[in-house]
Structure 1
Amino acid sequence: MYPSVSAQPDFPAQEEEILAFWRAEKIFEKSLAKNQDGEPYIIYDGPPTANAKPPLHTIVPMSFKDLVGRYQTMKGRYVPRQAGWDTHGLPVEVQVEKALGLSGKKEILNLVPGDPNASIAKFNEICRTSVWEYKQEWDKFVPRVGYWMDIDHPYITYQPEYVEKEWGVFKRIWDKGMVYKGYKVLPYCPRCGTGLSSAEVAQEYHDTKDVSVYVAFPLVDQPRRSLLAWTTTPWTLPGNVALAVGKGIEYVVIRQADGAEYILAKARLEIVEGDYEIVEELKGEQLLGRQYQPPYPEVLADRTEPKHLVVAADFVTTEDGTGIVHTAVMYGEDDFQLGQQLGLPMKHSVGLDGRFLDNVPEFAGLYVRDALVPILKSLQEKNRLYKKQTITHSYPYCWRCKTPLIYYAKDSWYIAMSKLRGELLNSNETVAWYPEHIKEGRFGDFIREARDWAISRERFWGTPLPIWVSVSGKMLCVGSFAELKQLAKDPDLVGEEFDPHRPTVDAIILVKDGEEYVREPVVMDVWFDSGSMPYASGRDQKGQFPADYIAEAVDQTRGWFNSLLAIGTIVKGQ
């Protein structure tokens, strides 16, 4: 006889009863032990960031992984399932900043007034503590939803053994000549004070309303005749260096009722307001070398390089704007490359905090996105504002603090992923995607246009970049704590309890051939932490690479899936 069943069963109580049985009888552990000699089936669990309580949406990928793991176990396969926790980076730092009532690096560095190193140490210790607080929440959540996962022996990305192995992964990439330091334009968060990678930026675009402006740039030798340029980022106008045209594009000179003359692409006459007559037609190449008057000449007043002249560029089109592109070499990727090719002056008008520098006296100290109204007023007073209009465009935001990003020229360390586009595509061919269209679509499109990976972050709580540089410019990449101790000027700093985080690691000076080396004071992209998981957790040494099954939310095509494939392609060729 079956026991009687209530017409109104208490399902949560039944679940708790089953979970208690599994726990008491160690059913998960027994399921692993009975198949220990079976053919392995490898599942990787994407490490959740331990910066908040578990969100309910994580149950969906957990359910898929749990279902597949149990099914393969029933087929006799050995299915090790190690939990892991992503414990570094902006996700944790921003959460701690909020908890402390801080905003940005300047305030973090003053946690202990007058002592930046002590401030970093205090901030990082709070980050470490907060991670454990939320990890405990996850340790309750995972078994409660019935997810079979080894949470008693997890990999934790901030632990020294993980950091050391991650350094080893980075050293292998370094030894292949894939790492370099470059000064170029990259997406930058002025609130967090760090550059970001193209993969991070791809995760956080929003339709945004902004004011675009059409600005007049009078010719030096014909001040009544102006080049008309359009920009969606008026804050970059003080940084104007050149105006770009297309050599083969047809341009016109129009005269309006007040006698003012403007040059723009013939195909863009629709933007003209009021009556006009065409007084001249010419090709873009006829405009090359013409000099004009910028609205803010004081920024480059001390520079002798060619400046404020018309140049040719392949990226100029007549799809929008005026067919004449305002070029601020420090705040646009195409602009910067053009500036390098032509030897244009490179000088910032905006600081790393996103505020105008003193070389723009009209707006000095103003945050760029707060300067719109003063800039519009200034342009109007200078008789440079032809017209303005509100547009809605897709704009990048910081994936953690949600601040609008700016594109900014600065130093950063890179992994040369653009050299590996073919290899990345080959690796992708070996992956069975579900749904299948992701392979050639969302993911395939992304790696076909793979950018060099901006790997360094000018932050505090993260895996330190293991690169030391001498005064003469020589560089050392360290791949283990043993190597660090061997090269250290004071080996005692790398003891048994060595904490490989800032500021401890910053204090270690290396010596080689009589020359001293100082560490680059940056940490690595947190996606390098998670992408190194197969190696830093030791699973590849156990024959657990590559994975047979991974399931995560679609946003991970630009996150963890991307870093796994990138690092695997470089390190393992797959």
Structure 2
Amino acid sequence: MSTQTKPKFTPVPTAVNYPEMEERVQQMWEEQQIFEKTLSERADGPRYVFFEGPPTANGRPGIHHVLARAFKDMFPRYKIMQGYYVKRKGGWDTHGLPVEIEVEKQLGLSGKEQIEEFGVEEFNRRCRASAMEYIKEWEQLTDRMGFWVDKEEAYVTFKPDYVESLWWILKQFADKGLLYQGHKVVPYCPRCGTPLSSHELSLGYKEGTVDPSVYVKFKIKDRDNEYLLAWTTTPWTLPGNVALAVGPKVEYAKVRDVSGAIFYLATARLEAALKPGYEVLEKLSARDLVGLHYEPLYTFFPV
């Protein structure tokens, strides 16, 4: 008969409170400085650089931010396990339309002119304050989900040291001939008067908005008060216009409208484009219009 005493195990509770377990683990991490030790114990290891794509702290974090931050934590954590030194630099994005639009709502303003009347300096001050409004909530989410990142020395994009660093970087690019001036078509907000970033587009840019069609008159060179009348559903392309097209089987007309101006347009569009009272002076073919020169709407390109 054995006289050995069976080991006694700590009783396991029948009900598990996962949030409490997570809080205990988080407390242990903080008390034993686990995150800091991942840096100190890997100080001599190969470098793996990680800069967090910074969130904007002028809005409360939501559950959808957990997934994105989990991905951001995954790769640095894996590299630490491989022996790399990963200095995880946190940051806060304090620029952009989300901050400015939020402050506009708070102040009851709408658009550039009202902001200038209110005062740009004071508006910028309000934006800086708003940009960091929910930083505590963001830090709490960061800790609660186990996202390891250096919050104490986080970069803030509106601070002078960050702005000056970017100017310094741009100067290095310029000195090496890596900057150029060019043209690029980008999404644009007419209300805000600014191009939109891909992040700002994701906040609700309406790609399905119906674009209005417009009639545009192009003044014929060396002719007094005579115009080619064109119709387009893409008015945003007009700054780059360099030519007009005519249909080989379309009948055109030379018309004097009620104002006395003379227009050239398709006969089938007379009633739709002109007010009643116009006078048809001549019927024309497409060949009659080929070779006419008109003054450009804009002077970006020669016509």
TM-score by shorter chain over 0.5: yes
Q: Secondary structure at the match of 2:56?
A: coil
Tell me the amino acid that sits aligned with residue 206 of structure 1.
Answer: E
Q: Distance in 2 between matches of 1:93 and 1:209?
A: 27
Corresponding residue of 1:175: 175
Superposed CA offset, 1:169-227 (max 9, x none):
122233345657789997653422x332676787645111244356899999xxxxx96
On the 8 A contact 1:45/1:83 being kept in 2, the answer is yes
Q: Structure 2 regions of 5+ residues with no counterpart?
A: 1-7, 222-226, 254-263, 268-282
Match of 1:253 among 251, 254, 275: 251
Superposed CA offset, 1:500-534 (max 9, x none):
xxxxxxxxxxxxxxxxxxxxxxxxxxxxxxxxxxx
1:444-459 pair list within 5 angstroms: none
Would you say 1:121 and 2:121 are equivalent positions?
yes
Q: What is the CA distance between 1:168 and its match in structure 2?
A: 0.7
Corresponding residue of 2:273: none
Q: Secondary structure at the match of 1:92?
A: helix
The 1:176–1:36 alpha-carbon spacing in structure 2 relative to 1, beyond 3 Å, is: closer
1:99-118 pair list within 5 angstroms: 99-111=106-118
The 1:168–1:217 alpha-carbon spacing in structure 2 relative to 1, beyond 3 Å, is: closer
Instruction: Work out the number of aligned pairs and report it.
Output: 263
The 1:263–1:201 alpha-carbon spacing in structure 2 relative to 1, beyond 3 Å, is: farther
The 1:227–1:127 alpha-carbon spacing in structure 2 relative to 1, beyond 3 Å, is: closer
Structure with greater strand share of residues: 1
The 1:177–1:35 alpha-carbon spacing in structure 2 relative to 1, beyond 3 Å, is: closer
Q: Secondary structure at the match of 1:208?
A: coil
Superposed CA offset, 1:8-34 (max 9, x none):
322111111111111111111112211
**Larger Rg computed on CA atoms:** 2
Q: Secondary structure at the match of 2:210?
A: strand
Would you say 1:9 and 2:8 are equivalent positions?
no
Corresponding residue of 1:149: 149
Would you say 1:163 and 2:156 are equivalent positions?
no
Corresponding residue of 2:138: 138
On the 8 A contact 2:218/2:297 being kept in 1, the answer is no
Q: What is the CA distance between 1:51 and its match in structure 2?
A: 2.2
1:486-505 pair list within 5 angstroms: none
Corresponding residue of 2:276: none
Q: What is the CA distance between 1:131 and its match in structure 2?
A: 2.3
On the 8 A contact 1:186/1:195 being kept in 2, the answer is no
Corresponding residue of 2:258: none
1:313-324 pair list within 5 angstroms: none
Superposed CA offset, 1:245-280 (max 9, x none):
348x6342169xxxxx9538xxxxxxxxxxxxxx87
The 1:65–1:189 alpha-carbon spacing in structure 2 relative to 1, beyond 3 Å, is: closer
On the 8 A contact 1:217/1:228 being kept in 2, the answer is yes
Tell me the amino acid that sits aligned with residue 130 of structure 2.
Answer: S
Q: Distance in 2 between matches of 1:90 and 1:139?
A: 22
Q: What is the CA distance between 1:43 and its match in structure 2?
A: 2.3
Corresponding residue of 1:31: 38
Would you say 1:287 and 2:290 are equivalent positions?
yes
Corresponding residue of 1:76: 83
Tell me the amino acid that sits aligned with residue 83 of structure 1.
Answer: G
On the 8 A contact 1:215/1:229 being kept in 2, the answer is yes
Q: Which has the higher contact order (CA 8 A, sep 6+)?
A: 1
The 1:6–1:209 alpha-carbon spacing in structure 2 relative to 1, beyond 3 Å, is: farther
Q: Secondary structure at the match of 1:154?
A: strand
Corresponding residue of 2:194: 195
Corresponding residue of 1:393: none
Q: What is the CA distance between 1:108 and its match in structure 2?
A: 2.3
1:321-336 pair list within 5 angstroms: 328-329=297-298
Tell me the amino acid that sits aligned with residue 11 of structure 2.
Answer: S
Q: Distance in 1 between matches of 2:216 and 2:160?
A: 55
On the 8 A contact 1:85/1:154 being kept in 2, the answer is yes
Among the aligned pairs, what percent are the same residue?
A: 39
Tell me the amino acid that sits aligned with residue 287 of structure 1.
Answer: V
The 1:328–1:13 alpha-carbon spacing in structure 2 relative to 1, beyond 3 Å, is: farther
RMSD: 4.0
Q: Distance in 1 between matches of 2:200 and 2:244?
A: 29
On the 8 A contact 1:187/1:201 being kept in 2, the answer is no
Q: Secondary structure at the match of 2:168?
A: helix
On the 8 A contact 2:97/2:200 being kept in 1, the answer is no
The 1:195–1:176 alpha-carbon spacing in structure 2 relative to 1, beyond 3 Å, is: farther
The 1:197–1:178 alpha-carbon spacing in structure 2 relative to 1, beyond 3 Å, is: farther
Q: Distance in 2 between matches of 1:205 and 1:181?
A: 29
Corresponding residue of 1:268: none
Q: Distance in 1 between matches of 2:84 and 2:183?
A: 50
Q: Distance in 2 between matches of 1:183 and 1:72?
A: 40
Corresponding residue of 1:63: 70
Tell me the amino acid that sits aligned with residue 209 of structure 2.
Answer: T
Q: Distance in 2 between matches of 1:153 and 1:198?
A: 27
